[in-house]
Amino acid sequence: METNPTPYKRQIFVCTNDRKGESASCGDHQGEEVFRRLREIAKERKLHPTIRVTQAKCLGQCAKGVNIMIYPKNVWYSAVRLEDVSKIADECIKV
Ligand code: FES
């Protein structure tokens, strides 16, 4: 086993879990699309993977989806909609 400092300046976890309507999930509100758009923006800005946008498969706040958790910024976004992505990107996808 090796222990190293994290290779990323920031990691953005976007919940893309989709329970297909069986119970509340971030998939009810386009979690996958939110993730894809954020990652696209990080790549367009040439900040991926320095700022890494990662899929999460449940962050434990399913009824408040779409959920996004950011480290080490220590910020949590909930009830995110696709139209919120550019604002989140401007706040978090920058060096
Ligand atoms: S399904 Fe997204 S937080 Fe649980």
Q: 13-36, pLDDT tens digit by residue?
A: 999 999 999 999 999 999 999 999
Inside any domain, residue 2 = no
Is residue 56, in this structure, part of any structural domain at all?
Answer: yes
Mean pLDDT over residues 35-46, rounded? 97
Domain CATH code at residue 80: 3.40.30.10
Specify if 50 maps to a domain: yes
**CB of 78 shorter than 6 A to ligand 1:** no
Decide if 5 is inside a domain. no
Distance between CA atoms of residues 82 and 95, nearest Å = 23
Condensed to tens digits (0 to 9), the pLDDT of residues 54-69 reads 999 999 999 999 999 9
Q: Is residue 62 part of a domain?
A: yes
Question: Domain for residue 4, yes or no?
Answer: no
Q: Which domain holds residue 45?
A: 10-92
Q: For residue 1, tell me if it sits in a domain.
A: no
Among 61, 77, 78, the mutation site with the greatest number of ligand 1 atoms within 8 A of its Cβ is 61
Number of domain units in the chain: 1
